[in-house]
């Protein structure tokens, strides 16, 4: 350590890592250094920021003490390392231009909802940004979606093409200003502008495009609106014909739409909003929040048919606020601007081309979106915020890990895809990429991988992937001949993701319930109880296999899996013809199906819990075919919410070698019995949910007895079913299990890339230590 000079003056260099770029960190440090009367400088570096301060010992100490405590709202320091350096002849504190001499590891900020200060200025007729739709400051505005490269400077964003006017430049240069070094700073004179286009993409000469778009929405039109991470398709959520028209044109049948409401009071009018939900709605991430709807709420019937919940969110860009202030609609359907299952459109021409025929008009602007980023979706459960889709507002904030690893890329699954890169002791998940089954989805996947590598400045030589040979992500990974490839079983990845975000090590009981995951034996797994360590898994119990007649077709048509279960337990009689489900079957189709099962033609075996939900939903007459993923299971859950029945259908546990088989014969006996005696669908659904909870509690107890394990991780898409999640969590807690679940990443397949990465990291580590 260098002693203080004879004058009592010292100089410290401080390297700060974390989210410290583009969040007003440099102006904050500038002000703090001046308050402490220190000389020196600050600069953005690829790793974060580097600061040097010089002054009396006490003043430097005060600066160091205040620095971590007073950081601006969006900044997040992950490390702060001061060291002594030689005195310099500085007389003032200066902000230097960015340094490019180190490998980048600075964290980019996610996009942030417009702040209160900006909103106040925007609604002030005397302010020069009165009604300006792109107002922002260092505390708010676009980040991730406009960044081309790092370090984060205007020249490396889509604002590069806008030269600041004198007034904006003066704010940008003034360390005392809220817009000091706010990279997207702009105004009416120099910044992006909105335009209204007609249904064919031809510019409309509108005096005020925003007011005209608002007028169109009021009249029932469908307007494509360019947002932060992509286009939305919007229409008045209280107008039945408009919502119906949107469904028809978008070819989206029954899958719920998200609704943006004017303000928190409107949210409360439509849904039950408790304190935690209120915080989520108002958070700067502004996700869609799933809320229990009020039965009397006047939302168009087509917004979320047969669903007790509604996805609500509040305006998050200045443009959204202006739209609401210009029209009388209190609630707008705001759904991704795409055809069903394709990625969201971001480019003006692309939007016109793809959404032509859906939108009656386009409200566009000339600030390019460089990164597609869908809205995030969250809900509150047992006192925590759970993410059902982790995207805008959360990406690219990393998940902190326990240990460091060499860089690893994990490519995720096939549906609800995300990718993940481990760098050091942090895991960075991409935005929601979605389904890879179409060409656009696959391109988006490649784009997300490339961008994440670029902003993190790593090119991992290790790639983790799912075991399913037909997944696009798997095939993509297998194309990298020079990389080290590590295949990770789907449900192993689910549980490892849950362990990682809860910082667990060692061995846990993992209950992984979902629709589809390729098993180590080639069957389709999905009703799994696993003993999991990061590097290994042992399949401790699973739902008994049943044929999935027609494979994918059986996922779209739950009646097939219901027949398969009945045939398994009762042969061709299916347990009796007096059940309405059987009476209503098309006998010709049924015959073909039974032959397929008999001969094992196109009948993969499955232990899927999602398919068991489908079978029960079909059997009790809720749904023979689905219009979107998991629809039958969701409707079964909705029915169960309307019953308080406490009885539970039984399952059988049979020991078969090292693994317990979970039999469903008694379950179906009881189901048929209840259907015959005319029990309410709601009660049957509830007993089925109760049955699953007590089944998996029972399995966990057996494993605790045999293995001495007390920690249980819950993961997989079935835990998006809040009733099943709560019933099982409460039952496990009551029996003194430590129960862990997700809050950082989704329980569904959006979270598996994190688990894949962790499994790969530990396999590398154990391979390294044994060689
Ligand atoms: Zn602001
Ligand atoms: Zn300007
Ligand atoms: Zn899964």
- Which pTM was predicted? 0.91
- Whether the Cβ atoms of residue 588 and residue 535 lie closer than 8 Å to each other: no
Q: What is the 3-state secondary structure (H, E, C) of 464-527?
A: EEECCCCCHHHHHHHCCCCCEEEEECHHHHHHHHHHHHCCCCCCEEEEEEEEEEECCCCCEEEE
Is a pLDDT exceeding 50 seen at residue 144? yes
**Gap from CA of 72 to ligand 1 centroid (Å):** 12
The closest ligand to the CA of 188 turns out to be 2
Residue 137 CA, ligand 1 centroid: distance in Å: 4
Rounded to the nearest angstrom, the distance between the alpha carbon of 745 and the centre of ligand 3 is 13
Q: Are 640 and 723 in contact (CB under 8 A)?
A: yes
pLDDT of 230 higher than 60: yes
Dump pLDDT digits (tens) for 150-205.
Answer: 888 899 999 999 999 999 999 998 877 889 889 999 999 999 999 999 999 999 98
Pick the more confident residue, 606 or 298: 606
295 burial class (0-12, 13-18, 19+ CB within 10 angstroms)? Answer: exposed
The 8-class DSSP code of residue 402 comes to: E
Contact at 8 Å (CB) between 737 and 712? yes
Q: What is the pLDDT of residue 624?
A: 87
121-138 per-position pLDDT tens digit:
999 999 999 999 999 998
Burial label for 609, CB within 10 Å (0-12, 13-18, 19+), is buried
Q: Which residue has the tokens 């209280």?
A: 238
Q: State the DSSP H helix or E strand holding residue 292, giving kind and residue range, or none if neither.
A: strand 288-292
What is the rounded average pLDDT of the residues 23-52? 90
Ligand 2 centroid to residue 376 C-alpha, Å: 31
Which secondary-structure segment (H or E) carries 16?
A: strand 9-19
Distance 169 CA to ligand 2 centre (A): 7
Across residues 207-236, what is the average pLDDT?
96
Q: Give the number of whichever ligand sits closest to the CA of residue 317.
A: 1
**What confidence score (pLDDT) does residue 106 get?**
64
Q: What is the pLDDT of residue 135?
A: 98
Could you read off the pLDDT of 707-719 as tens digits, one per residue? 999 999 999 999 9
Percent over 90 (pLDDT), the chain: 81
- Beta-carbon count within 10 A of 565 CB: 27
- 714 bridge partner residues: 511
Q: How confident is the model at residue 1 (pLDDT cuts 50, 70, 90)?
A: very low
pLDDT tens, 535-568? Answer: 999 999 999 999 999 998 999 999 999 999 999 9
Q: In whole angstroms, how large is the CA radius of gyration of the chain? A: 28
Per-residue pLDDT tens digits for 642-679: 999 999 999 999 988 889 999 999 999 999 999 999 99
Q: Say how far apart CA 609 and CA 607 lie, in whole Å.
A: 7
Residue 86 phi, psi (nearest 5): -60, 145
117 touches 32 (CB < 8 A): no
Number of the ligand closest to the Cα of 170: 2
547 touches 667 (CB < 8 A): no
pLDDT at 4: 53
**Residue 771 banded pLDDT, cuts 50, 70, 90:** very low
Give the max Cα distance, the chain. Answer: 100
Average pLDDT over the chain, rounded to an integer:
93
Nearest to 326 by CA among 131, 189, 125: 131
What tokens were used for 421?
Answer: 């890169």
Mean pLDDT computed over 14-39:
89
What is d(CA 675, CA 581) in angstroms, rounded to the nearest whole number?
10
Mean pLDDT score, 97-103: 56
Task: Please write the tens of the pLDDT for every residue from 508-522.
Answer: 999 999 999 999 999
Res. 102: pLDDT tops 60: no
User: 170: CA distance to ligand 2 center in Å?
Assistant: 9
C-alpha to C-alpha distance for 331 and 682, rounded to whole angstroms: 31
Query: What is the arithmetic mean of pLDDT over 99-121?
Result: 79
Residue 2 reports pLDDT greater than 60: no
């Amino acid at each position: 350590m260098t002693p203080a000079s004879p004058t009592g003056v010292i100089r410290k260099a401080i390297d700060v890592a974390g989210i410290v770029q583009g969040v007003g960190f440099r102006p904050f440090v500038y002000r703090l250094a001046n308050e402490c009367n220190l000389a020196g400088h600050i600069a953005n570096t690829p790793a974060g920021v580097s600061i040097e301060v010089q002054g009396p010992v006490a003043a430097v100490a005060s600066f160091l003490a205040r620095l971590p405590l007073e950081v601006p709202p969006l900044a997040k320091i992950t490390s702060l390392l001061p060291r002594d350096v030689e005195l310099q002849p500085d007389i003032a504190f200066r902000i230097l231009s960015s340094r490019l001499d180190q490998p980048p590891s600075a964290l980019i900020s996610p996009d942030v909802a417009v702040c209160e200060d900006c909103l106040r200025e925007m609604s002030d007729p005397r302010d020069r940004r009165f009604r300006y739709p792109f107002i922002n400051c260092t505390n708010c505005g676009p980040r991730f979606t406009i960044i081309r490269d790092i370090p984060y400077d205007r020249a490396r964003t889509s604002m590069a093409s806008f030269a600041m006017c004198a007034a904006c430049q003066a704010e940008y240069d003034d360390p005392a200003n809220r817009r000091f070094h706010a990279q997207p700073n702009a105004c009416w004179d120099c910044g992006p502008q909105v335009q209204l286009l007609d249904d064919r993409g031809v510019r409309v000469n509108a005096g005020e495009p925003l007011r005209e778009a608002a007028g169109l929405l009021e009249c029932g039109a469908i307007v494509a609106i360019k947002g932060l991470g992509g286009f939305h398709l919007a229409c008045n959520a209280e107008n039945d014909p408009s919502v119906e028209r949107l469904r028809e044109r978008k070819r989206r049948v029954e899958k719920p739409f998200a609704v943006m409401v004017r303000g928190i009071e409107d949210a409360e009018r439509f849904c039950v909003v408790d304190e935690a939900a209120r915080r989520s709605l108002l958070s700067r991430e502004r996700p869609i929040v799933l809320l229990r709807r009020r039965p009397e709420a006047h939302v168009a019937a087509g917004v979320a048919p047969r669903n007790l919940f509604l996805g609500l969110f509040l305006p998050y860009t200045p443009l959204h606020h202006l739209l609401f202030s210009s029209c009388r609609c209190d609630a707008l359907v705001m759904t991704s601007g795409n055809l069903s299952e394709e990625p969201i459109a971001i480019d003006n021409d692309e939007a016109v081309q793809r959404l032509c025929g859906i939108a009656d008009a386009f409200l566009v602007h000339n600030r390019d979106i460089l990164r597609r980023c869908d809205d995030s979706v969250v809900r509150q459960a047992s006192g925590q915020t759970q993410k059902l889709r982790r995207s805008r507002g959360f990406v690219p904030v990393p998940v902190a890990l326990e240990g460091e690893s060499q860089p690893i890329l994990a490519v995720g699954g096939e549906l609800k895809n995300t990718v993940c890169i481990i760098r050091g002791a942090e895991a960075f998940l991409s935005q929601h990429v979605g389904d890879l089954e179409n060409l656009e989805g696959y391109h988006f996947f490649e784009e997300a991988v490339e961008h994440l590598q670029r902003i993190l400045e790593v090119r991992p030589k290790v790639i983790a992937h799912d075991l399913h040979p037909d997944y696009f992500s798997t095939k993509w990974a297998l194309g990298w001949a020079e990389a080290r490839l590590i295949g990770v079983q789907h449900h192993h990845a689910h549980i490892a993701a849950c362990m990682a975000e809860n910082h667990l090590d060692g061995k846990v009981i993992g209950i992984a319930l979902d629709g589809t995951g390729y098993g180590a034996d080639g069957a389709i797994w999905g009703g799994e109880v696993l003993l999991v360590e990061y590097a290994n898994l042992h399949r401790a119990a699973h739902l008994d296999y049943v044929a999935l007649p027609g494979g994918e077709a059986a996922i779209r048509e739950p009646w097939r899996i219901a027949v398969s279960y009945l045939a398994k337990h009762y042969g061709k009689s299916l347990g009796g013809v007096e059940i309405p489900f059987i009476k209503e079957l098309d006998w010709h189709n049924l015959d073909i199906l039974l032959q397929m099962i008999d001969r094992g033609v196109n009948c993969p075996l499955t232990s899927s819990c999602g398919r068991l939900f489908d079978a029960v939903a079909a059997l009790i007459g809720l749904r023979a075919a689905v219009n979107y993923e998991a629809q039958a299971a969701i409707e079964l859950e909705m029915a169960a919410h309307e019953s308080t029945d406490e009885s539970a259908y039984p399952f059988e546990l049979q020991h078969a070698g090292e693994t317990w088989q979970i039999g469903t014969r008694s379950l179906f006996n009881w189901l048929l019995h209840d259907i015959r005696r005319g029990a309410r669908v709601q009660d049957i659904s509830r007993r089925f949910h109760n049955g699953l909870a007590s089944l998996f509690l029972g399995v966990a107890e057996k494993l605790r007895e045999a293995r001495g394990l007390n920690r249980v991780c819950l993961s997989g898409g079935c835990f998006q079913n809040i009733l099943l999640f709560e019933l099982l969590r409460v039952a496990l807690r009551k029996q003194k299990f430590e129960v862990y679940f997700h809050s950082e990443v989704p329980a569904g397949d959006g979270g598996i890339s994190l688990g894949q990465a962790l499994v790969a990291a530990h396999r590398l580590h154990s391979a390294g230590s044994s060689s």
